[in-house]
Every structure is written in C-alpha cells, then in structure tokens.
Structure 1
Amino acid sequence: MKLSADLKAFQERLGHRFSSPDLLIRAVTHPSMSSVHRDDNQRLEFLGDRVLGLVMAEALLKADPQATEGQLAPRYNALVRKETCAAIARQIDLGTVLKLGRSEMKSGGRRKEALLGDAMEAVIAAVYLDAGFEAAQARIVALWGDRITTVKADARDAKTALQEWAQARGQQPPVYKELKRTGPDHAPQFVIEVALETGEAEKATAGSKRHAEHAAAKALLDRLEAE
C-alpha cells in the first residue's frame, strides 16, 4: 500500500519511514472513518499506551538514578498523560494527516486534545510493530526530548492539584457533574462542571468525561491561583 504525499511528509517529521505503510494509515484513521474494509486506530492506541509507559519508566530511571518511587511516579504521569501526547502530536503536526469522518472534522477533530493524544499513542504502536521496540524507544525519546529531564518533580494532573488545593484549605474535595452530552456515539462531547463547596466553579468540554474533568479542574485551578 502506497502512502499519500502528506503521509510521506509526516514520516519525515516523525523520523521513521515505514516498511509497512498500512500500519501508519491505520494509526491515523479515527473510528469515525472506520469501515468493514478500513481498520481504525483504537487497538493501536491501546498498544501504544503500553509501549510509551515502558519507555518513559526506563527513561526516568536513567535520567535520575537517585530518585525515589514517590518522586518518579508524578513525573511519569506527567509525561504519559493525554495532554502531553497531544502536545507531541502538535509538535509533529499529526492533526493534518488524521483521517476523520465528516462530523468529526466539522467539530474540529484535528485540534481536539483527546483525539490527538490517542492518535499519537497509535503512531507509537505503529512504529513498534513496524520496526521493533528499540525503534519505538528511539522515536519516543527523541520526540519527548528535554521533557524527560525537565519535567517538574511535583508534576501533578489538574484534578489531583485541585483536590490538594481544596484540602489544604479545609474544604471537601471538588465535585464533578456532567451537564450535557452531545454528538454521535463514536464522537461524543461531554460538558463537565467542577465546583468547590465555597461556590467557585468552572466548565469544560471534551470528547471524554475524564478529559473534560481535567480541563475543568485546570481552568478552575488557574483562576484560583491567579486571584
């Protein structure tokens, strides 16, 4: 199977030329474009998440031989979470080559954080299946670059940080509430609100409840810390 010109260019940005081009095509195919004759990237995403996890765990151990498990865990979480994967995807302009259904494209799918993060994991799996673990490891380390050594020792996800902020002030944990769900089953959109017992609240929209919760927590935390 031959690659289109845009996918050939993407290979250069990624830094890996595929011996099996069909793996790359599958990695960039969103479920909204899947069919009987076209596989989507969900299974690759599942595998890529595990490959990324192993590479990052090993990279962090090498980067800081003296770090304790308690220090390594939050760094690891910061490096493998969807937001970071999405940032890497933007770095190599992955969104421009995604194969999306019409509804997903109209809703701005090429810019969605969850979608980009999932696709990045799928691309990692495609490299792994195409050329083995060492090739995937080399691409991950190169793409994540300085993030591996500069990730903050106290890096936490937004939900954890917001909960700690509330508890430090003697408040109950934040409460998350689903306000709305729209879109088709293959591409839902969730509107989530997070609120503190003192009344402060923020809303966010994303393609999964988890990502919407994190986005809402980050928005509220940013506002609280700016006050």
Structure 2
Amino acid sequence: MSDLAAWVKAETGHAPADISLFERALTHSSRGGADYERLEFLGDRVLGVVIASWLYARFDKESEGQLSRRLNVLVSRETCAEVARNIGLAPRMRLGKQALEDGAGDSDNVLGDMIEALLGALYLEGGVAAAETFVRRQWESFVEEQRSAPKHPKSGLQEWAAANNRKPPEYRLVDRSGPHHAPRFIVEVQVRGAGEAQAEGTSKQEAETEAARLLLEKLG
C-alpha cells in the first residue's frame, strides 16, 4: 500500500481502489493536467446532503431556519479548512511552484476545496456510506459544539440596526489582492451613526461576515 493510500485509509476509513482518483483530489490546477476542481464540485454537494440529513435527525425540534444556520457554519470554507488541517492534508497537497510560493498550502480556500474533493473521491468509490463515515468522524466535534443554532453575524448586525432605529448596514469592498487561487479581500461595514469595522478574508463573503462580527462586538 502506498503512503498516500495508507493515509487515506487511516483518516477516512476507506482503502482506495484507484489511488489516482485520490491523487487528483489533492492536485492543484497549478500543476497542470487533471486537478481537484470537478471532484470538489461533487464533494461540496455530498457534504451538504450528509450534514443536512445529520442535522435533520440530530436536532428534530428545530425549525428550517435554525437548521440552515447550523448547516451554513458546518459547510463553510473555514470549517472545511480546519478539518483539512486536522487530518494533515496540507503536506499531501500537490501544488505547482507558483501556487506554493503564493501560500496556497495554507489557504483556507484551497484546503477547504481539497477536503471536499477528497469527499467526492470517497463518494465515487464507496458511495454515501463511505462519505458519511468520514463526515461523521471529522465533523462530530463541530456539530456537538453548536449548543444552539448560531446566528450569522450579518443577520445579527441587521437585526441590531433595526432594533436601534438605524439604517441597514452598508458593506464596501476596500481592496482585493493576491493571485486567483489565493485572493484576499478587505471589506468595511458601517452602520451610520453607530460605528464601522474592517476585516479581511479569502472571499468577499468571508470578509463581510468577519467585519459584521467585529462591529457587533464593538456595539456590545
């Protein structure tokens, strides 16, 4: 058994039949040839279904809105990247020279995408059972740590503004930098007459979310 096959089996519980499928799941487009992107497309959908069905059964008294808030956090780029780091995915990444120099090896975007690509490969070989085994093993602590359905910071900030007779929050893109595979966004959010905050993220949405969270903290 190859080193990669042994790692996949140890971390997912599935022994690869076609190791090239898993090599592809860990190959960045900067390497040329087949990369992880199609597998990531599939794995993203598999993750959503597995987590949604898990939450539906686990929190059987919660509304659709509460379940959606839980789901959004659990399938977020940040959570997926944390799972990738937890299983030691970064050293297995197959990156081109430029991507490596640009820091793709520690990018939440790339790590999150590759964990979904790995899930896509698991699904193709082992079906839903293999995918669900992996997700339940690696996401269990995240699910159980959600004592209540989390409120999205942007929703929370909008509610604060309404409750305090303010206009809705305004978001402004301050800067976008970095290469295509590892972009950085800086966003400013403002509630007129109350305060403002800036934050950085690997996507515009991530930066807006963090800026909203920081402003909520300021507003107390």
Shorter-chain TM-score bucket reads 0.7 to 0.9
Structure 1 unaligned residues grouped into runs of 5+ = none
How far apart are residue 125 of structure 1 and its match?
0.8
Alignment RMSD, CA only?
2.4
Q: Could you tell me how far 1:165 is from its partner in structure 2?
A: 2.9
Distance 1:59 1:39, change over 3 A: same
Number of residue pairs matched? 220
Determine which of 75, 79, 85 is the counterpart of 2:80: 85
In structure 1, the partner of 2:165 is 170
2:5/2:16 contact within 8 Å kept:
no
Report Cα offsets for 1:3-59 as digits up to 9, x if no partner.
5x36643542333321111121111122333x2xx2121221211111111111111
Moved more, 5-14 or 196-205: 5-14
Select the residue among 177, 181, 184 that pairs with 1:182.
177
Q: Could you tell me which of 148, 155, 158 is aligned with 1:153?
A: 148
List aligned pairs for 1:179-218, cutoff 5 A.
Answer: 179-198=174-193, 200-218=195-213
- Confirm whether residue 111 of structure 1 aligns to residue 106 of structure 2: yes
Residues 172 and 197, structure 1, Cα contact 8 Å, conserved in 2: yes
Does residue 26 in structure 1 map to residue 21 in structure 2? no
In structure 2, the CA distance between the partners of 1:102 and 1:57, relative to structure 1 (3 Å rule), is same
Identity among equivalent pairs (%): 38
> Is 2:40–2:116's contact at 8 Å kept on the other side of the alignment?
yes
SS at match of 2:154: helix
Secondary structure at 2:70's aligned position in 1? helix
| CA contact 1:32–1:187 (8 Å) conserved in 2 | no
Is the Cα contact below 8 Å between 2:30 and 2:96 reproduced in 1? yes
Bigger shift: residues 91-100 or 9-18: 9-18
Q: Secondary structure at the match of 2:174?
A: strand
> CA, structure 1 residues 17+202, in 2 after alignment: closer, same or farther (shift >3 Å)?
farther
C-alpha distance in structure 2 between counterparts of 1:190 and 1:172, whole Å: 24
How far apart in 1 are the matches of 2:30 and 2:163? 43
Q: Does structure 2 retain, via aligned residues, the 8 Å contact 1:59–1:148?
A: no
Counterpart selection for 2:216 from 213, 221, 226: 221
Q: Distance in 1 between matches of 2:160 and 2:91?
A: 38
Question: Residue 217 and residue 183 in structure 1: after superposition, are their counterparts in 2 closer, same or farther (change >3 A)?
Answer: same
Gaps of 5+ in 2: none
Q: 1:184 to 1:85 in 2, by over 3 A?
A: closer
Instruction: Work out whether residues 26 and 93 of structure 2, in 8 Å CA contact, stay in contact via their aligned partners in 1.
Output: yes
* TM-score between both structures, scaled by the size of structure 2: 0.86
Q: Does the CA-based 8 Å contact 1:31-1:40 persist in structure 2?
A: yes
What is the match of residue 17 of structure 1?
A: 15
Which residue is equivalent to 1:70? 65
Please name the residue that 1:39 is paired with: 34
Letter in 2 for 1:198: G
Spell out structure 1 runs of 4+ moving beyond 4 A.
none
User: Comparing 153-162 with 74-83, which one deviates more in the overlay?
Assistant: 153-162
Identify the range of structure 1 (146-155 vs 46-55) with the bigger mean alpha-carbon deviation. 146-155
Q: CA deviation at 1:199?
A: 5.8
State the distance in 1 between where 2:104 and 2:59 align: 37
